[in-house]
């Protein structure tokens, strides 16, 4: 009797909903809405999730949560602010689910049934018990290594269960999955080359939410990049939690003495030892830059310890490996670096900066900094300020420290810097950075930069275009007909995906402005630079 009664109730709800929801064809599996917080790796992970769901029959994606039967929220656990934003969104999704009938009746919701709410990513791994205990707010919790299990977990919800899989893997890289690109018709894309992290920095939770390092085979990455090239992608960002420690041992399986022959940056050390040494990050970049000469390559997020000389010389030689290096310092104090377990000193870091600039003279540098780490004194903080001034970064990401559970710092240190002092120090970091970054941007005035057009300038969409230079600087210029180097008799307006030579005329602390000279190709621009350099040396 109960099953028959339940059937009548379900039919009644379905008929009522049908009279209130617009007459559109909704797949039986339901429509998906997704949100992503955190790093570029999370964006790429969501593309992997959408591919898995598409193969399982969940093909339709909607732009608002009110129209979805399944809501994915991909989370970040690196800092407390990111987690608080996620909880706010979960509260709203819970409202859409719990008050579905009244929401449909008032027109707030257009979903065919109460949405299933799915939490993905690092926060899912870190706070799984708390999330599942939050008054039935969430139906499925799925960690970064368990995305293949999502269709089964969603089916369990239909049987009254809540699905959870947060197991970490030593092997999962999703190498065989072709991601569903979130940004359609984009000329840039993310490609994940490795997952996890072995560094065990005392402030960082990534090894506990993402697991240990494992790298995709080179061949699988080359295949994915080849597909992107066919789709019109002109620039690829290679992703990994410690991207330049990439180590594809799948085809070489060469046993080495623990830590031997694994070249680190001079003066740097690592807690992790390599047992099977295979193809390294420079090998991967060599292969990609050779096979796709008209495609630009960037990478993030690296660790300073993994910049051996061969990688730096390769970056100098290849025109399509962008001359922007992210070099996370975290602090300018050797004593704080020791507490952070970073494996280097202030002096070693500055020596590496000098080496990078001697090998790649026109390189741009960016960095990460944390202020207010456990026990940080005013003197240690001032050392960070002087490091920022000494290096002169083009870009930087600056944060006040927030303690994360499970980390070495949580187990061994005390978060003893008051919040008001953290915020004051953060403001000082920001001001110091702004003073130095202006010089980096001003130095570009008078130069000609190769800019990949990404779209119209939002502030002047009808008259200006926006793109990024090799160094990652945002460049704005007037949209007007200019010569095409490949067809000397043609003048046309640049379009998204074109490489444009732009003469830089002025700068701010965030953007460069210039005059578009010509549309060209990546290799052609590089060849012209070589000819100019040869002429100057004669």
Q: Helix 309-317 to helix 281-291 angle, to the nearest 10 degrees? A: 10
For the chain, give the number of residues. 538
Digit-coded pLDDT (tens) for 10-54: 333 333 444 344 445 677 889 999 999 988 899 999 999 999 999
pTM score, two decimals? Answer: 0.88
Q: Which residue has the tokens 């049934």?
A: 113
The DSSP string of 105-167 is HHTS---SSPPEEEEEEHHHHHSHHHHHTSTT--SEEE-TT-GGGHHHHHHHHHTT--EEE--
Digit-coded pLDDT (tens) for 287-321: 999 999 999 999 999 999 999 999 999 999 999 99
Asked if residue 301 has a cis previous peptide bond (ω within 30° of 0), the answer is yes
Digit-coded pLDDT (tens) for 321-372: 999 999 999 999 999 999 999 999 999 999 999 999 999 999 999 999 999 9
Find the DSSP H helices in 191-280: 206-210, 218-230
Fold exhibited by the domain 188-248+263-438: pyruvate-formate lyase- activating enzyme (3.80.30)
Secondary-structure class of domain 31-165 per CATH: alpha beta
CATH 3.40.50.12160 in the chain is located at 31-165
Kindly report the backbone phi and psi dihedral angles of residue 527, in degrees, each rounded to the nearest multiple of 5, phi listed first: -65, -40
Residues ≥6 apart with Cβ < 8 Å to 75: 37, 38, 42, 82, 83, 86, 119, 120, 121, 122, 123, 124
Kindly report the backbone phi and psi dihedral angles of residue 187, in degrees, each rounded to the nearest multiple of 5, phi listed first: -95, 0
- Which CATH number is correct for 447-537, 2.40.50.140, 1.20.120.1760, 3.50.50.60, 3.90.226.10? 2.40.50.140
| CA distance readout (Å), 330 to 224, 333, 367 | 33, 9, 8
3-state class of 503 per DSSP?
A: strand
3-state class of 444 per DSSP?
A: coil
CATH 3.80.30.20 in the chain is located at 188-248+263-438
CATH 2.40.50.140 in the chain is located at 447-537
With beta carbons less than 8 A apart as the criterion, state whether 537 and 480 touch: no
């Amino acid at each position: 009797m109960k099953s028959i009664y339940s059937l009548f109730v379900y039919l009644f709800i379905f008929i009522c909903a049908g009279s209130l929801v617009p007459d559109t064809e909704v797949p039986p599996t339901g429509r998906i809405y997704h949100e992503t917080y955190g790093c570029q790796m999370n964006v790429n992970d969501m593309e992997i999730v959408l591919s898995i769901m598409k193969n399982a029959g969940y093909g339709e994606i909607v732009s608002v949560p009110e129209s979805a039967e399944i809501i994915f929220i991909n989370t970040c656990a690196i800092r407390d602010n990111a987690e608080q934003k996620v909880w706010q969104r979960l509260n709203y999704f819970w409202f859409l689910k719990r008050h579905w009938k009244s929401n449909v009746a008032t027109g707030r919701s257009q979903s065919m049934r109460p949405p299933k709410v799915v939490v993905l990513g690092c926060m899912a791994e870190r706070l799984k018990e708390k999330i599942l205990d939050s008054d039935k707010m969430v139906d499925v919790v799925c960690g970064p290594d368990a995305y293949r299990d999502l269709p089964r977990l969603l089916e369990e919800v239909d049987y009254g269960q809540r699905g959870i899989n947060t197991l970490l893997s030593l092997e999962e890289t999703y190498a065989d999955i072709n991601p569903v690109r979130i940004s359609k018709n984009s000329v840039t894309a993310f490609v994940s080359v490795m997952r996890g992290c072995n560094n065990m920095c005392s402030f960082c939770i990534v090894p506990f939410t993402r697991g240990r390092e494992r790298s995709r085979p080179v061949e699988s990455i080359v295949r994915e990049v080849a597909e992107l090239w066919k789709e019109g992608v002109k620039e690829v960002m290679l992703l990994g939690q410690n991207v330049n420690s990439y180590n594809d041992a799948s085809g070489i399986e060469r046993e080495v003495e623990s830590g031997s022959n694994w070249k680190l940056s001079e003066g740097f050390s690592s807690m992790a030892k390599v047992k099977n040494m295979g193809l390294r990050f420079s090998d991967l970049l060599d292969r990609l830059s050779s096979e796709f000469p008209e495609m630009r390559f960037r990478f993030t997020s690296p660790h300073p310890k993994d910049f051996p000389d061969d990688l730096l010389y390769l970056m100098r030689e290849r025109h399509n490996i962008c001359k922007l290096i992210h070099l996370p310092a975290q602090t300018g104090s050797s004593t704080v670096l020791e507490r952070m377990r970073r494996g280097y000193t202030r002096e070693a870091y500055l020596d590496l900066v000098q080496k990078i600039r001697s090998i790649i003279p026109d390189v741009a540098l960016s960095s990460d900094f944390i202020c207010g780490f456990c026990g940080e004194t005013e003197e240690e903080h001032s050392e960070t300020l002087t490091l920022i001034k000494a290096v002169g970064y083009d870009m930087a990401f600056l944060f006040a420290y927030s303690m994360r559970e499970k980390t070495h710092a949580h187990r061994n240190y005390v978060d003893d810097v008051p919040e008001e002092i953290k915020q004051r120090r953060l403001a000082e970091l920001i001001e110091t950075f702004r003073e130095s970054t202006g010089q980096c941007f001003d130095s570009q005035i008078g130069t000609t930069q190769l800019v990949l057009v990404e779209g119209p300038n939002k502030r002047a969409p009808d008259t200006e275009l926006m793109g990024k230079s090799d160094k990652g600087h945002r460049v704005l210029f007037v949209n007007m007909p200019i010569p095409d180097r490949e067809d000397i008799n043609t003048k046309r307006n640049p379009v998204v995906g074109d490489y444009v030579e732009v003469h830089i005329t002025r700068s701010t602390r965030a953007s460069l402005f210039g005059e578009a000279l010509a549309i060209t190709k990546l290799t052609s621009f590089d060849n012209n630079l070589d000819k100019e350099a040869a002429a100057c040396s004669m």
